[in-house]
Structure 1
């Protein structure tokens, strides 16, 4: 028998304010057509004034717990992926722990930008396999609207706010790829590529800063690295693109999503796409897409999924799991 980290519940939360592309025509030189053509984005959600990343994360976590039929104190660990924590410290995860009324266990943040949820999922899986936790709440939550330079039309139109969450639970499997749960993961980073996607501020610089991106370079690296990491994770368990029921990618840009699917030889009919409605929500995008895909009736129990993402660092990776 083999221990697996199995998905028991999923949920998400989006702020009430919906921002259509047309709204950006009032602040920068752009158009709805320009944004749709280059990114596939039609609208996104922005957090309200005073609404924090942990606020969004708590709502998504509550939805995932309800879906799993569990209470906060049934959870052993919270792993929260975010680049936009409420405070420098303590971690946003501990704020979620308090907000849920969870009085036991431990909580911490993971920071790998848009790849954050893949890193958090892999980390939670390792905690479960090592026996340090039986149940984990894995969250991706962001308020990226707080990092935008509203004079930079190449970036400010791309990002949105939101949160998604999964409940993972230890379960026994047979050690085959038919098992439900996380089957493999592949994580990577290359700090030499820092300057193509970063925020030009931070605590030690004394400023919050704004997001800066070299779009063409990010696109080139994304198309190359996302397919490669997905294949690497599948290879670890003797699977291929033909075995995949759904790709659930980081929702950054429809052209990246399409190019990655082609390289994996998976038709777009087997790709969960939410970028048109949410924009790029960084670490929140994969759990958001998982929750929406399940709600749509796309993702069903027993389906084989590949999630993959790339973000600043550069950091990128993938997880293969059976729902």
Structure 2
């Protein structure tokens, strides 16, 4: 009709393709308490020879936090070393995650305390507990946040003071565990593929009674043989699946960094995977099983001895209470952390 204007519908906007963002682990740091406890000091009250514990666990000594000591302070030291190694300021951290099963308090949560101590004022913070698999679980969350563009820099810390929940009259657990903290810096790689492969994360709560730490503070109880068998089978399976998902074979790995639960478990997994000893990190002798701190402190150990080089294809694998386990493959870098040193 004359004088009538017909509004034409707007053409639909072209769908927006989100920019690709990868994630990379660029630096690592570790920290341990000053007090060193030799296996002889643990074996004597149990009526055991020190060599008996060493043969079964591989642990010759371990660090122990002072009575009333702060786990957050230890974790902060590890985080500070990782940030320094990455050349990153704390104020640039968007996300700080703490994996632990032995926090200083229920509230305030440890990650917030650590962020404040570091000066990471912009960081969102969260604690999580998946026992020995806790660091790996936290890393998967951090990587996802970075890849989605919701964070640019994440600090992931694993820290535990297992001496708080031990019964030193229990020969199964008294000689295994130690205290420590480790941290990694995860950075965004705009327009690049991620250097962290897909994650395998699984659990079997029906078998959770194999490793139990009652509320509120232990002591931890573990069925040694049952745990040993499940751990070896799970870690071998994780290694094979995680490498396949990353598009490589086990033989292509430059380094296998496994949860330092027991030297015999580490050796058995390496043997079944056909990996030579020099490609399997074993640092339990001087630090023990540090639970949530185990993977990052093992990474720091490998960095200190020169095996964690830029571009190295590294398997991370963990197994622990829950039961929970998992793994992923990381292409390390882009920089070799110059100051990431594990106390040995």
State if a TM-score over 0.5 links the two structures.
yes
The aligned counterpart of 2:247 is 238
Superposed displacement of residue 145, structure 1 = 0.4
Residues 29 and 153 of structure 1 are in contact (CA less than 8 Å); yes or no, is this contact kept in structure 2? no
CA distance in 2, matches of 1:93, 1:303: 29
- The DSSP-based 3-state class of the residue aligned with 1:27 is helix
The aligned counterpart of 2:285 is 276
Alignment root-mean-square deviation, CA: 1.3
Residues 21 and 149 of structure 2 are in contact (CA less than 8 Å); yes or no, is this contact kept in structure 1? no
Q: Which runs of 5+ in 2 are unaligned?
A: 1-18, 333-344
The aligned counterpart of 1:185 is 199
CA distance in 2, matches of 1:18, 1:105: 33
CA distance in 2, matches of 1:200, 1:51: 22
Superposed displacement of residue 200, structure 1 = 2.1
Question: Normalising by structure 1, what TM-score?
Answer: 0.94
* 2:223 maps to 1:201: no
Structure holding more strand per residue: 1
CA distance in 2, matches of 1:165, 1:159: 19
CA distance in 2, matches of 1:103, 1:237: 35
CA distance in 1, matches of 2:262, 2:30: 20
The aligned counterpart of 2:232 is 223
Superposed displacement of residue 90, structure 1 = 2.4
* 2:275 maps to 1:266: yes
Residues 193 and 314 of structure 1 are in contact (CA less than 8 Å); yes or no, is this contact kept in structure 2? yes
CA distance in 1, matches of 2:197, 2:21: 10
Residues 4 and 183 of structure 1 are in contact (CA less than 8 Å); yes or no, is this contact kept in structure 2? no
CA offsets 1:32-77 (integer angstroms, 9 cap, x no match)? 1101110111110001122122111000001001111111111000
The aligned counterpart of 1:13 is 31
Residues 117 and 284 of structure 1 are in contact (CA less than 8 Å); yes or no, is this contact kept in structure 2? yes
- The DSSP-based 3-state class of the residue aligned with 1:252 is coil
Superposed displacement of residue 153, structure 1 = 1.4
Superposed displacement of residue 30, structure 1 = 1.9
Superposed displacement of residue 173, structure 1 = 6.2
The aligned counterpart of 1:89 is 107
CA offsets 1:135-193 (integer angstroms, 9 cap, x no match)? 00011100000000111111011000000000110014654xxx6x2122110011101
The aligned counterpart of 1:205 is none
- Structure 1 window deviating more from structure 2 (134-143 vs 3-12): it is 3-12
Superposed displacement of residue 269, structure 1 = 1.5
CA distance in 2, matches of 1:303, 1:209: 39
- The DSSP-based 3-state class of the residue aligned with 2:197 is strand
Residues 24 and 31 of structure 1 are in contact (CA less than 8 Å); yes or no, is this contact kept in structure 2? no
* 2:151 maps to 1:133: yes
Correspondence for 1:48 among 36, 52, 66: 66
Q: Which runs of 5+ in 1 are unaligned?
A: 203-207
Residues 34 and 64 of structure 2 are in contact (CA less than 8 Å); yes or no, is this contact kept in structure 1? yes
Residues 158 and 280 of structure 1 are in contact (CA less than 8 Å); yes or no, is this contact kept in structure 2? yes
Residues 184 and 234 of structure 1 are in contact (CA less than 8 Å); yes or no, is this contact kept in structure 2? no
- Structure 1 window deviating more from structure 2 (187-196 vs 43-52): it is 43-52
CA offsets 1:62-113 (integer angstroms, 9 cap, x no match)? 1001111111111000011110111112221111111112211201012110
- The DSSP-based 3-state class of the residue aligned with 2:199 is strand
- The DSSP-based 3-state class of the residue aligned with 1:182 is coil
Correspondence for 2:259 among 250, 254, 266: 250
The aligned counterpart of 1:160 is 178
Superposed displacement of residue 312, structure 1 = 0.5
Superposed displacement of residue 2, structure 1 = 4.4
